[in-house]
Structure 1
Amino acid sequence: MVPVLATGFGVGLSLIVAIGAQNAYVLRQGIRAEHVLPLVAICAVSDAVLILAGITGIGTVVAHAPATLTVVRWAGAAFLVGYGLLAARRAVGTQSLDTASGGGAASRRTAVLTMLAMTWLNPHVYLDTVLLLGSIANTHEGSGRWTFGAGAALASFAWFAALGYGARLLGRVFARPVAWRVFARPVAWRVLDALIAIVMVTIGVSLVANG
Protein backbone atom coordinates (compact mmCIF):
# COMPACT_ATOMS: atom_id res chain seq x y z
CA MET A 1 0.00 0.00 0.00
CA VAL A 2 2.93 2.37 0.58
CA PRO A 3 3.80 2.71 -3.14
CA VAL A 4 0.13 3.45 -3.94
CA LEU A 5 -0.03 6.01 -1.12
CA ALA A 6 3.16 7.65 -2.41
CA THR A 7 1.79 7.70 -5.95
CA GLY A 8 -1.39 9.38 -4.78
CA PHE A 9 0.66 11.90 -2.83
CA GLY A 10 2.84 12.69 -5.83
CA VAL A 11 -0.01 13.02 -8.32
CA GLY A 12 -2.06 15.11 -5.93
CA LEU A 13 0.87 17.40 -5.17
CA SER A 14 1.64 17.90 -8.87
CA LEU A 15 -1.90 19.20 -9.43
CA ILE A 16 -2.10 21.36 -6.31
CA VAL A 17 1.27 23.12 -6.47
CA ALA A 18 0.45 24.90 -9.75
CA ILE A 19 -0.19 28.60 -9.10
CA GLY A 20 -3.91 29.18 -8.72
CA ALA A 21 -6.53 31.18 -6.89
CA GLN A 22 -6.32 29.14 -3.68
CA ASN A 23 -2.54 29.23 -3.50
CA ALA A 24 -2.37 32.97 -4.12
CA TYR A 25 -4.92 33.75 -1.40
CA VAL A 26 -3.40 31.37 1.16
CA LEU A 27 0.03 32.89 0.47
CA ARG A 28 -1.23 36.43 1.00
CA GLN A 29 -3.05 35.58 4.22
CA GLY A 30 -0.11 33.52 5.43
CA ILE A 31 2.26 36.47 5.02
CA ARG A 32 -0.21 38.61 6.97
CA ALA A 33 -0.60 35.79 9.54
CA GLU A 34 -4.40 36.11 9.33
CA HIS A 35 -6.79 33.20 9.78
CA VAL A 36 -4.28 30.69 8.38
CA LEU A 37 -5.66 27.61 10.16
CA PRO A 38 -9.29 27.88 8.92
CA LEU A 39 -8.13 28.67 5.38
CA VAL A 40 -5.75 25.70 5.28
CA ALA A 41 -8.50 23.50 6.72
CA ILE A 42 -11.01 24.64 4.09
CA CYS A 43 -8.61 23.86 1.25
CA ALA A 44 -7.54 20.47 2.59
CA VAL A 45 -11.01 19.28 3.65
CA SER A 46 -12.58 20.49 0.39
CA ASP A 47 -9.99 18.58 -1.64
CA ALA A 48 -10.54 15.45 0.46
CA VAL A 49 -14.32 15.66 -0.05
CA LEU A 50 -13.97 16.15 -3.80
CA ILE A 51 -11.44 13.32 -4.12
CA LEU A 52 -13.83 11.07 -2.18
CA ALA A 53 -16.62 12.10 -4.53
CA GLY A 54 -14.50 11.20 -7.54
CA ILE A 55 -13.61 7.78 -6.13
CA THR A 56 -17.25 6.97 -5.37
CA GLY A 57 -18.27 7.73 -8.94
CA ILE A 58 -19.63 11.26 -8.69
CA GLY A 59 -17.14 12.20 -11.38
CA THR A 60 -19.30 10.37 -13.91
CA VAL A 61 -22.27 12.51 -12.95
CA VAL A 62 -20.22 15.70 -13.21
CA ALA A 63 -18.91 14.65 -16.62
CA HIS A 64 -22.49 14.25 -17.86
CA ALA A 65 -23.77 17.50 -16.38
CA PRO A 66 -22.22 20.21 -18.58
CA ALA A 67 -24.95 22.68 -17.62
CA THR A 68 -23.85 22.55 -13.99
CA LEU A 69 -20.22 23.16 -14.87
CA THR A 70 -21.26 26.03 -17.13
CA VAL A 71 -23.01 27.79 -14.25
CA VAL A 72 -20.03 27.24 -11.97
CA ARG A 73 -17.66 28.39 -14.70
CA TRP A 74 -19.37 31.75 -15.22
CA ALA A 75 -19.89 32.35 -11.51
CA GLY A 76 -16.28 31.47 -10.79
CA ALA A 77 -15.01 33.66 -13.61
CA ALA A 78 -16.99 36.66 -12.36
CA PHE A 79 -15.75 36.17 -8.80
CA LEU A 80 -12.09 35.70 -9.75
CA VAL A 81 -12.03 38.69 -12.10
CA GLY A 82 -13.73 40.81 -9.43
CA TYR A 83 -11.21 39.76 -6.79
CA GLY A 84 -8.39 40.35 -9.26
CA LEU A 85 -9.56 43.90 -9.86
CA LEU A 86 -9.65 44.50 -6.11
CA ALA A 87 -6.07 43.22 -5.85
CA ALA A 88 -5.07 45.53 -8.71
CA ARG A 89 -6.68 48.42 -6.85
CA ARG A 90 -4.65 47.56 -3.75
CA ALA A 91 -1.48 47.39 -5.84
CA VAL A 92 -1.88 50.95 -7.10
CA GLY A 93 -3.56 52.35 -3.99
CA THR A 94 -2.01 54.38 -1.20
CA GLN A 95 -3.54 52.64 1.80
CA SER A 96 -0.91 51.79 4.39
CA LEU A 97 -0.50 48.18 5.48
CA ASP A 98 1.24 47.17 8.69
CA THR A 99 1.69 43.41 8.92
CA ALA A 100 2.97 43.63 12.47
CA SER A 101 -0.07 45.38 13.88
CA GLY A 102 -2.57 43.70 11.62
CA GLY A 103 -3.74 46.96 10.08
CA GLY A 104 -6.31 46.48 7.36
CA ALA A 105 -6.97 42.92 8.47
CA ALA A 106 -9.85 41.02 6.92
CA SER A 107 -12.39 39.49 9.29
CA ARG A 108 -12.41 35.74 9.76
CA ARG A 109 -15.86 35.56 8.14
CA THR A 110 -14.68 37.48 5.07
CA ALA A 111 -11.56 35.35 4.71
CA VAL A 112 -13.50 32.10 5.07
CA LEU A 113 -16.22 33.10 2.59
CA THR A 114 -13.58 34.27 0.11
CA MET A 115 -11.74 30.96 0.32
CA LEU A 116 -14.95 28.95 0.01
CA ALA A 117 -15.82 30.88 -3.14
CA MET A 118 -12.35 30.42 -4.61
CA THR A 119 -12.53 26.70 -3.92
CA TRP A 120 -16.08 25.75 -4.88
CA LEU A 121 -16.65 28.22 -7.72
CA ASN A 122 -13.55 27.10 -9.61
CA PRO A 123 -14.36 24.43 -12.24
CA HIS A 124 -10.67 23.47 -12.35
CA VAL A 125 -11.07 22.05 -8.84
CA TYR A 126 -13.75 19.64 -10.05
CA LEU A 127 -11.76 18.64 -13.12
CA ASP A 128 -8.56 18.02 -11.15
CA THR A 129 -9.94 16.34 -8.04
CA VAL A 130 -13.28 14.75 -8.95
CA LEU A 131 -12.60 13.72 -12.53
CA LEU A 132 -8.83 13.32 -12.84
CA LEU A 133 -7.81 12.10 -9.38
CA GLY A 134 -11.02 10.09 -9.06
CA SER A 135 -10.38 8.38 -12.37
CA ILE A 136 -6.74 7.58 -11.56
CA ALA A 137 -7.70 6.29 -8.12
CA ASN A 138 -10.23 3.89 -9.63
CA THR A 139 -7.53 2.28 -11.79
CA HIS A 140 -6.30 0.63 -8.58
CA GLU A 141 -8.09 -2.50 -7.48
CA GLY A 142 -9.80 -3.07 -4.16
CA SER A 143 -8.64 -0.86 -1.31
CA GLY A 144 -5.92 0.57 -3.53
CA ARG A 145 -8.20 3.32 -4.76
CA TRP A 146 -8.82 4.50 -1.20
CA THR A 147 -5.10 4.40 -0.43
CA PHE A 148 -4.40 6.47 -3.55
CA GLY A 149 -7.10 8.94 -2.52
CA ALA A 150 -5.66 9.16 0.99
CA GLY A 151 -2.25 9.99 -0.49
CA ALA A 152 -3.73 12.74 -2.67
CA ALA A 153 -5.66 14.19 0.28
CA LEU A 154 -2.50 14.08 2.42
CA ALA A 155 -0.64 16.00 -0.30
CA SER A 156 -3.30 18.72 -0.20
CA PHE A 157 -3.03 19.09 3.57
CA ALA A 158 0.78 19.09 3.52
CA TRP A 159 1.00 21.66 0.72
CA PHE A 160 -1.51 24.17 2.06
CA ALA A 161 -0.13 23.89 5.60
CA ALA A 162 3.40 24.48 4.33
CA LEU A 163 2.25 27.38 2.15
CA GLY A 164 0.14 29.06 4.81
CA TYR A 165 2.53 28.75 7.72
CA GLY A 166 5.73 28.91 5.67
CA ALA A 167 4.61 32.23 4.21
CA ARG A 168 5.17 33.84 7.60
CA LEU A 169 8.90 33.58 6.94
CA LEU A 170 8.39 36.24 4.26
CA GLY A 171 6.80 38.60 6.77
CA ARG A 172 9.95 40.70 7.21
CA VAL A 173 10.29 41.20 3.47
CA PHE A 174 6.74 42.55 3.36
CA ALA A 175 7.25 44.85 6.34
CA ARG A 176 10.28 46.86 5.24
CA PRO A 177 11.06 50.20 6.93
CA VAL A 178 10.00 53.55 5.47
CA ALA A 179 12.92 53.59 3.02
CA TRP A 180 11.37 50.65 1.20
CA ARG A 181 7.92 52.21 1.00
CA VAL A 182 6.39 53.90 -2.01
CA PHE A 183 3.39 56.15 -1.38
CA ALA A 184 3.01 54.79 2.18
CA ARG A 185 2.79 51.17 1.02
CA PRO A 186 5.65 48.60 0.97
CA VAL A 187 6.87 47.81 -2.54
CA ALA A 188 6.77 44.07 -1.81
CA TRP A 189 3.03 44.24 -1.10
CA ARG A 190 2.43 46.15 -4.32
CA VAL A 191 4.27 43.45 -6.27
CA LEU A 192 2.39 40.63 -4.52
CA ASP A 193 -1.01 42.23 -5.08
CA ALA A 194 -0.12 42.92 -8.70
CA LEU A 195 0.82 39.25 -9.20
CA ILE A 196 -2.37 38.12 -7.46
CA ALA A 197 -4.39 40.42 -9.72
CA ILE A 198 -2.73 38.93 -12.81
CA VAL A 199 -3.32 35.35 -11.62
CA MET A 200 -6.96 35.92 -10.67
CA VAL A 201 -7.93 37.80 -13.81
CA THR A 202 -6.05 35.36 -16.06
CA ILE A 203 -7.78 32.35 -14.50
CA GLY A 204 -11.17 34.08 -14.63
CA VAL A 205 -10.80 35.04 -18.29
CA SER A 206 -9.48 31.59 -19.21
CA LEU A 207 -12.54 29.96 -17.63
CA VAL A 208 -14.75 31.84 -20.08
CA ALA A 209 -12.42 31.75 -23.09
CA ASN A 210 -11.56 28.06 -22.87
CA GLY A 211 -15.01 26.81 -21.89
Structure 2
Amino acid sequence: MTFPYLSSFLSGAGLGASLIIAIGAQNAFVLKQGLKRRYVGLVVAICASIDVLLIGLGIGGMGALISRAPFLLDVIRWAGAIFVFLYGARAFLAAWRGPGHLDASDGETQTAIGAASTVLALSLLNPHVYLDTVVLLGGIGARYGWPRNAWFAAGAMCASIVWFTTLGYGARLLQPWFEKDIAWRVLDVIVGCVMWWIAAALVFSH
Protein backbone atom coordinates (compact mmCIF):
# COMPACT_ATOMS: atom_id res chain seq x y z
CA MET A 1 0.00 0.00 0.00
CA THR A 2 1.67 3.23 -1.15
CA PHE A 3 1.44 6.43 0.90
CA PRO A 4 -1.37 8.11 -1.13
CA TYR A 5 -3.53 5.01 -0.78
CA LEU A 6 -2.70 4.66 2.91
CA SER A 7 -3.51 8.32 3.45
CA SER A 8 -6.89 7.88 1.74
CA PHE A 9 -7.62 4.77 3.79
CA LEU A 10 -6.78 6.50 7.08
CA SER A 11 -8.79 9.57 6.11
CA GLY A 12 -11.82 7.40 5.42
CA ALA A 13 -11.34 5.49 8.66
CA GLY A 14 -10.96 8.67 10.69
CA LEU A 15 -13.97 10.44 9.23
CA GLY A 16 -16.07 7.28 9.34
CA ALA A 17 -15.23 6.70 12.99
CA SER A 18 -16.04 10.30 13.91
CA LEU A 19 -19.50 9.91 12.39
CA ILE A 20 -20.21 6.45 13.82
CA ILE A 21 -18.86 6.76 17.37
CA ALA A 22 -21.59 8.91 18.87
CA ILE A 23 -24.49 8.43 21.24
CA GLY A 24 -27.39 7.37 19.08
CA ALA A 25 -30.32 5.01 18.83
CA GLN A 26 -28.40 2.40 16.87
CA ASN A 27 -25.39 2.37 19.19
CA ALA A 28 -27.62 2.27 22.28
CA PHE A 29 -29.42 -0.79 20.92
CA VAL A 30 -26.18 -2.58 20.04
CA LEU A 31 -24.82 -1.87 23.52
CA LYS A 32 -27.93 -3.22 25.20
CA GLN A 33 -27.94 -6.37 23.06
CA GLY A 34 -24.29 -6.88 23.96
CA LEU A 35 -25.05 -6.56 27.66
CA LYS A 36 -27.92 -9.03 27.37
CA ARG A 37 -25.85 -11.27 25.04
CA ARG A 38 -28.83 -11.68 22.75
CA TYR A 39 -28.25 -12.05 18.99
CA VAL A 40 -25.10 -9.94 19.21
CA GLY A 41 -23.55 -11.34 16.04
CA LEU A 42 -26.75 -10.79 14.06
CA VAL A 43 -27.16 -7.21 15.26
CA VAL A 44 -23.50 -6.34 14.68
CA ALA A 45 -23.59 -7.90 11.20
CA ILE A 46 -26.69 -5.94 10.22
CA CYS A 47 -25.31 -2.61 11.45
CA ALA A 48 -21.96 -3.09 9.76
CA SER A 49 -23.54 -4.36 6.53
CA ILE A 50 -25.85 -1.34 6.31
CA ASP A 51 -22.93 1.04 6.72
CA VAL A 52 -20.82 -0.85 4.18
CA LEU A 53 -23.68 -0.81 1.66
CA LEU A 54 -24.49 2.89 2.15
CA ILE A 55 -20.84 3.96 2.03
CA GLY A 56 -20.42 1.99 -1.19
CA LEU A 57 -23.52 3.62 -2.67
CA GLY A 58 -22.22 7.03 -1.66
CA ILE A 59 -18.86 6.49 -3.32
CA GLY A 60 -20.74 5.19 -6.35
CA GLY A 61 -22.61 8.49 -6.75
CA MET A 62 -25.88 7.80 -4.92
CA GLY A 63 -25.27 10.78 -2.64
CA ALA A 64 -26.10 13.27 -5.39
CA LEU A 65 -29.45 11.55 -5.97
CA ILE A 66 -30.42 11.54 -2.29
CA SER A 67 -29.51 15.20 -1.85
CA ARG A 68 -32.05 15.98 -4.60
CA ALA A 69 -34.88 14.02 -2.94
CA PRO A 70 -35.91 16.11 0.11
CA PHE A 71 -39.38 14.55 0.14
CA LEU A 72 -37.93 11.07 0.64
CA LEU A 73 -35.79 12.29 3.53
CA ASP A 74 -38.84 13.95 5.12
CA VAL A 75 -40.79 10.68 5.00
CA ILE A 76 -37.88 8.82 6.57
CA ARG A 77 -37.47 11.58 9.16
CA TRP A 78 -41.08 11.43 10.40
CA ALA A 79 -41.24 7.63 10.35
CA GLY A 80 -37.98 7.51 12.27
CA ALA A 81 -39.16 10.07 14.83
CA ILE A 82 -42.29 8.05 15.58
CA PHE A 83 -40.42 4.75 15.87
CA VAL A 84 -37.64 6.18 18.05
CA PHE A 85 -40.19 7.91 20.31
CA LEU A 86 -42.05 4.63 20.85
CA TYR A 87 -38.79 2.78 21.49
CA GLY A 88 -37.85 5.42 24.06
CA ALA A 89 -41.22 5.03 25.77
CA ARG A 90 -40.58 1.29 25.94
CA ALA A 91 -37.21 1.94 27.60
CA PHE A 92 -38.80 4.22 30.21
CA LEU A 93 -41.44 1.57 30.88
CA ALA A 94 -38.71 -1.03 31.38
CA ALA A 95 -36.97 1.28 33.86
CA TRP A 96 -40.22 1.78 35.75
CA ARG A 97 -41.00 -1.94 35.89
CA GLY A 98 -37.70 -2.55 37.62
CA PRO A 99 -36.81 -5.93 39.16
CA GLY A 100 -37.02 -8.93 36.91
CA HIS A 101 -37.70 -7.20 33.61
CA LEU A 102 -34.38 -8.41 32.23
CA ASP A 103 -34.22 -11.88 33.70
CA ALA A 104 -33.67 -15.00 31.61
CA SER A 105 -37.34 -15.59 30.91
CA ASP A 106 -37.74 -12.05 29.59
CA GLY A 107 -34.70 -12.42 27.35
CA GLU A 108 -36.17 -15.52 25.76
CA THR A 109 -39.15 -13.50 24.49
CA GLN A 110 -36.94 -11.68 22.00
CA THR A 111 -36.59 -13.47 18.68
CA ALA A 112 -33.95 -13.13 16.01
CA ILE A 113 -36.54 -11.58 13.70
CA GLY A 114 -37.52 -9.12 16.41
CA ALA A 115 -33.92 -8.08 17.04
CA ALA A 116 -33.22 -7.78 13.32
CA SER A 117 -36.39 -5.77 12.68
CA THR A 118 -35.60 -3.35 15.50
CA VAL A 119 -32.03 -2.70 14.44
CA LEU A 120 -33.09 -2.30 10.80
CA ALA A 121 -35.69 0.27 11.79
CA LEU A 122 -33.31 2.15 14.09
CA SER A 123 -30.69 2.18 11.34
CA LEU A 124 -32.72 2.94 8.23
CA LEU A 125 -35.45 5.22 9.64
CA ASN A 126 -32.87 7.87 10.45
CA PRO A 127 -32.26 10.38 7.65
CA HIS A 128 -28.93 11.37 9.18
CA VAL A 129 -27.48 7.95 8.36
CA TYR A 130 -28.00 8.70 4.67
CA LEU A 131 -26.62 12.22 4.97
CA ASP A 132 -23.55 10.97 6.86
CA THR A 133 -22.68 7.78 5.01
CA VAL A 134 -24.01 8.40 1.52
CA VAL A 135 -23.91 12.16 1.00
CA LEU A 136 -21.02 13.28 3.24
CA LEU A 137 -18.67 10.29 2.98
CA GLY A 138 -19.64 9.74 -0.64
CA GLY A 139 -19.07 13.37 -1.54
CA ILE A 140 -15.69 13.57 0.16
CA GLY A 141 -14.58 10.21 -1.18
CA ALA A 142 -15.55 11.15 -4.72
CA ARG A 143 -13.00 13.97 -4.67
CA TYR A 144 -10.14 11.50 -4.43
CA GLY A 145 -10.80 9.88 -7.79
CA TRP A 146 -10.19 6.22 -8.65
CA PRO A 147 -8.65 4.22 -7.04
CA ARG A 148 -8.06 6.42 -3.99
CA ASN A 149 -11.81 6.81 -3.46
CA ALA A 150 -12.02 3.02 -3.09
CA TRP A 151 -9.34 3.13 -0.40
CA PHE A 152 -11.20 5.97 1.32
CA ALA A 153 -14.40 3.90 1.28
CA ALA A 154 -12.53 0.84 2.56
CA GLY A 155 -11.23 2.85 5.50
CA ALA A 156 -14.71 4.09 6.42
CA MET A 157 -16.12 0.57 6.06
CA CYS A 158 -13.41 -0.91 8.29
CA ALA A 159 -14.07 1.75 10.93
CA SER A 160 -17.74 0.76 10.99
CA ILE A 161 -17.02 -2.97 11.22
CA VAL A 162 -14.46 -2.50 14.01
CA TRP A 163 -16.72 -0.15 15.96
CA PHE A 164 -19.87 -2.28 15.95
CA THR A 165 -17.91 -5.45 16.68
CA THR A 166 -16.16 -3.78 19.61
CA LEU A 167 -19.37 -2.25 20.95
CA GLY A 168 -21.42 -5.43 20.65
CA TYR A 169 -18.90 -7.93 22.00
CA GLY A 170 -17.05 -5.52 24.28
CA ALA A 171 -20.24 -4.70 26.16
CA ARG A 172 -19.92 -7.95 28.11
CA LEU A 173 -16.90 -6.46 29.89
CA LEU A 174 -19.38 -4.13 31.59
CA GLN A 175 -21.51 -7.07 32.73
CA PRO A 176 -20.26 -7.00 36.37
CA TRP A 177 -21.65 -3.48 36.69
CA PHE A 178 -25.05 -4.69 35.55
CA GLU A 179 -25.52 -7.44 38.11
CA LYS A 180 -27.67 -5.04 40.12
CA ASP A 181 -31.12 -4.02 38.95
CA ILE A 182 -30.42 -0.32 39.52
CA ALA A 183 -27.78 -0.41 36.77
CA TRP A 184 -30.35 -1.67 34.26
CA ARG A 185 -32.80 0.99 35.43
CA VAL A 186 -30.21 3.70 34.84
CA LEU A 187 -29.32 2.26 31.41
CA ASP A 188 -32.99 2.15 30.40
CA VAL A 189 -33.47 5.76 31.48
CA ILE A 190 -30.38 6.81 29.51
CA VAL A 191 -31.58 4.88 26.45
CA GLY A 192 -35.03 6.45 26.79
CA CYS A 193 -33.56 9.94 27.03
CA VAL A 194 -31.33 9.34 24.01
CA MET A 195 -34.25 8.01 21.96
CA TRP A 196 -36.53 10.93 22.84
CA TRP A 197 -33.73 13.42 22.22
CA ILE A 198 -33.20 11.92 18.77
CA ALA A 199 -36.96 11.94 18.10
CA ALA A 200 -37.14 15.63 19.02
CA ALA A 201 -34.11 16.39 16.88
CA LEU A 202 -35.73 14.65 13.92
CA VAL A 203 -39.02 16.50 14.37
CA PHE A 204 -37.45 19.94 14.77
CA SER A 205 -34.59 19.48 12.31
CA HIS A 206 -36.42 21.62 9.73
Does the pair score TM above 0.5? yes
* TM-superposition CA deviations, 1:129-167 (whole Å, max 9, x none): 000000110110221111100100000000000000000
How far apart are 1:94 and its partner, in Å? 3.3
- Aligned CA-pair RMSD: 1.1
Unmatched 5+ residue regions in structure 2?
Answer: none
* TM-superposition CA deviations, 1:34-64 (whole Å, max 9, x none): 1000100111110011011111111111111
How far apart are 1:74 and its partner, in Å? 0.3
Q: Distance in 1 between matches of 2:18 and 2:98?
A: 37
Matched residue type, 2:198: I
Structure 1 runs of 4+ off > 6 angstroms?
none
Higher helix share: 2
> Corresponding residue for 1:204?
199
Q: How does 1:26-45 map to 2 (within 5 A)?
A: 26-45=30-49
Q: Distance in 2 between matches of 1:202 and 1:82?
A: 12
Q: Aligned residue pairs: how many?
A: 200
Q: Distance in 2 between matches of 1:171 and 1:108?
A: 22
| Identity of matched residues, % | 45
> Corresponding residue for 1:5?
9
State which of 97, 105, 123 in structure 2 corresponds to 1:103.
Answer: 105
State which of 72, 79, 99 in structure 1 corresponds to 2:76.
Answer: 72
**Does structure 2 conserve the Cα–Cα contact (< 8 Å) formed by 1:77 and 1:208?**
yes
> Corresponding residue for 2:187?
192
**Does structure 2 conserve the Cα–Cα contact (< 8 Å) formed by 1:98 and 1:175?**
no
Q: How does 1:1-211 map to 2 (within 5 A)?
A: 1-97=5-101, 102-105=104-107, 106-176=110-180, 186-211=181-206
> Corresponding residue for 1:182?
none
Q: Distance in 2 between matches of 1:22 and 1:146?
A: 26
- The normalised TM-score by structure 2 is 0.94
